[in-house]
Amino acid sequence: MSYVKNCRRLLFLALLLIGLSACDLQDDLLPSSSDERGTVVPGSIGHLPGQIAADFTIQDMYGNDFVLSDHLAGGSNPADVVVLYFTMWCPICLSHTDHMYSNVIPQFVGRGTVVYGLVDYVSGSVTATYAQAQANGYITPKFDILADVNQAVLNQFNGAMGITVVIDSDGTILMNEDYRTGEKLTRILDQQLP
Amino acid sequence: MIMFNHLRAVPVSGTALSLIAVAFTLALNSTAQAASCCGGGSASSLVLPKFSKAMIDVSMDYERYTGQWDNDGDWNAEASDLNQYRINLGYAHRLAPNWQASVTLPYVFNRNKYPTLERNTNGIGDGTVSVWYEAFEKITCVWDVKKLEDLIPAIYLGGTLTVPTGTSPYDDVSDNFDITGRGAYRLDASVLIDKTVYPWNLSVGASYGKYLERPVNKENGSYVEPYHKQLGDRFNTNISFGYTYFTDEMESITGTLAYAVLTEDEARIDGVIDTTSGFRKESISATIAWASENRDWIYKLTYNHSPTKDGMGANFATTDIITVGVSHVLR
């Protein structure tokens, strides 16, 4: 009988743990569909859509400086749109970037200029970023492979694995969310490019 | 032969031995996902031996991320040090002669170390609640096959609800390293067929799981335009083959080898198929289990390995998992 009592105690403990987790994790147990996005002040600096992206400089996998403002209007190498994708070279990341390479980029060839940057925030050095790009078959001129050695760009955009940031030529952030199916990125590029 | 005859007189013991293989086969149904970025942390289901009242199970997993298969099935090694530890608590209870229920809950520790980034997080993983029906009335473990009836296997039919008690990318997390769960409810229907003709055992299992659609209004702690997401259907098949050795004290030592294939279909986002999702994973396992004379205590050590070869998976991580566990059966 003591065994049964102990079992009941353990069961109670397990249920208690589930209950406690439920208090903290309502986002999953009772997910909400309400739109909780706050309003942003147009022209303010930040990471949210509608805000202006602060300028940053990081090195690409060849050791060259990549300066955001160089690719905005008035910069030395302006583009119509800058796309940043945060990668840790994980299966999901590679699935997204493969999709971008094969399905998104070809749709907009000849329509303006787009900079597609893959921001590697885990490799820790320019050489390690190059090695990862090479190992995963990303030595291609279609992407700028960027080494975010100290996660400065990751933190600036509140990034994470799979987060895709789209910036227009004025520096305004148009998108900052998971890549998902790539449909939203495609739609924005279609709207922005001539 | 004396030993065998003795065991024949204690049919429950036979079932307890069979339990080792059954539990092991079920363990292969577990999510077994590597690295916090992918959302791991599910514990496996439990199955109670026939005629037993209850069972407590405690196990610890150490899962090491070894690499990944890409979409084409090409494998690449992992350069960083990515690990997940799990403590799994489980309890199974008999509801009726042929019905039993169980709950499992893991606690997950993520240990991820990159050259300039180290994240150590922990939290509760996704729990499960299962109900099993035993489609057999008496012990099916036999020592000799003398008639056709002796070949009848034990068949278990089960349903499992995975509860998203873990932390998912849709919770209030700072980034993907905090993740301990998938973030969605899943219903699994399972069938397990097990046959023991001492000292050999063969088990085959299959399960089909369907995730429930959920709304999402937050990603990695930032609110986004709400949408609906449904992860892809899961199909898991596994087969295991075991051999049991009995000591002079009637303790048993069972070795089991198993092979499993896990697939997950593509997810849907607002009803649109997400072609970047879905995966397939093959794995092999070896287990050694020791059961006490009365089969009330079972100690298990399992090594699970994802072959680091091209074509044995797609769009998924490869891992090695070492599991140490103990089950205590209450009569």
- Does A164 score more than 70 pLDDT? yes
pLDDT attached to residue B32? 34
Closest residue of chain A to B171, computed from CA coordinates: A27
Q: What 3-state class would DSSP assign to B106?
A: strand
Mean pLDDT score, A134-142: 94
Beta carbons of A161 and B176 less than 8 Å apart: yes
H-state helical runs in chain A: 2-24, 26-29, 91-99, 126-135, 152-156, 183-192
How much is the pLDDT for A157?
Answer: 97
pLDDT cut 70: percent of chain B above it: 86
| Interface subset of B 285-324, CB within 8 angstroms of A | 315-317
Domain map of chain B by residue range?
A: 2-330
B270: left (phi over 0), alpha (psi -120 to 50) or beta: left
User: pLDDT for B265-283, tens place per residue?
Assistant: 999 999 999 999 999 999 9
CATH class, range B2-330: mainly beta
Predicted pLDDT at B50: 83
Provide the mean pLDDT of chain A.
Answer: 91
Query: Are B71 and A33 a contacting pair at CB < 8 A?
Result: no
Q: Which tokens is B198 given?
A: 């001492």
pLDDT at site B1: 29
- Of B66, B59, B55, B54, give the one whose Cα is nearest residue B44: B59
| pLDDT of the residue at A23 | 52
Residue B299 to residues A189, B76, B88, B92, B329, Cα–Cα distance (Å): 58, 35, 14, 17, 11
CA distance B199 to A127: 56
Query: Is residue B159 within a helix (H) or strand (E), and if so which, with residue range?
Result: strand B154-163
The predicted structure's pLDDT at residue A116? 98
Is 80 exceeded by the pLDDT of residue A11?
A: no
Which regions in chain B score pLDDT beneath 70? Answer: 1-45
Q: What is the pLDDT of residue A25?
A: 61
Q: Quick check: ipTM above 0.95?
A: no
CA separation for the pair A167, A174 (Å, rounded):
6
C-beta atoms of A182 and B228 within 8 A: no
Say whether A27 and B170 touch across the interface (CB within 8 A). Answer: yes
Instruction: Note which residues in 129-188 of chain A have CB less than 8 A from chain B.
Output: 131-132, 135-136, 149-151, 158-163, 176-183
Largest CA distance in chain B: 71
Interface of B with A in 240-259 (CB under 8 A): none
Q: Are B99 and B132 in contact (CB under 8 A)?
A: yes
**Please, what's the b/e burial string for A103-142 (b: 16 or more CB within 10 A of its CB; e: otherwise)?**
ebbeebeeeeebbbbbbbbbbbebebbbebbeebebeeee
In the prediction, which pLDDT does B140 show?
Answer: 85
* From A12-21, A47-56, B47-56, the region with the lowest mean pLDDT: A12-21
Q: What is the pLDDT of residue B51?
A: 84
Residue type, B122: N
Listed by number, the residues of chain A in 17-46 with a beta carbon closer than 8 Å to a beta carbon of chain B are: 17-18, 21-22, 25, 27-29, 31-38
Within 8 A of B75 by CB-CB distance, chain A residues are none
Cβ neighbours, 10 Å, residue B77 = 10
pLDDT of residue B173: 85
Q: What per-residue confidence (pLDDT) applies to B172?
A: 85
The reported pLDDT for the residue numbered A10 is: 62
Q: How many CA atoms are closer than 13 Å to the CA of B318, on its beta-carbon side?
A: 25
